Amino acid sequence: MVKTILTCPQCGSADIFYENAMITGIIYHCKKCDYIGPVVLERDLIDEEIEAMKQGRVKEKKR
Ligand SMILES: [Zn+2]
């Protein structure tokens, strides 16, 4: 199973959350650099990151 994460186009952080938008659609908000916008980069999780999540070294929002 391939997992993907959303990352910030500015700083590359995966600390992204949805900001509720009105009519325009989804807006994303990066906690790290305060980027706010509709564009985020989606990328596959690499095995190392999945391992890290399993071991609890990386925060995972959904369980
Ligand atoms: Zn950012």
Per the CB < 8 A criterion, the answer to whether 59 and 49 are in contact is: no
Confirm whether 37 is domain-assigned.
Answer: yes
CA of 34 to the centre of ligand 1 (A): 6
pLDDT digits 0-9 by tens, 22-60? 676 888 999 999 999 989 999 888 888 888 888 886 565
pLDDT at residue 57 in the model: 67
pTM: 0.63
Which helix (DSSP H) or strand (DSSP E) does residue 1 occupy?
A: none
Number of domains within the chain: 1
57 backbone dihedrals φ, ψ, rounded to 5°: -85, -20
Confirm whether 17 is domain-assigned.
Answer: yes
Task: Inform me whether the pLDDT recorded for 63 exceeds 60.
Answer: no
CA of 63 to the centre of ligand 1 (A): 24
Confirm whether 63 is domain-assigned.
Answer: no
Sequence letter at residue 55: Q
Confirm whether 61 is domain-assigned.
Answer: no
Confirm whether 60 is domain-assigned.
Answer: no
CA of 19 to the centre of ligand 1 (A): 14
pLDDT at residue 23 in the model: 75
Please give the residue range of the domain that contains residue 46: 4-54
CA of 1 to the centre of ligand 1 (A): 27
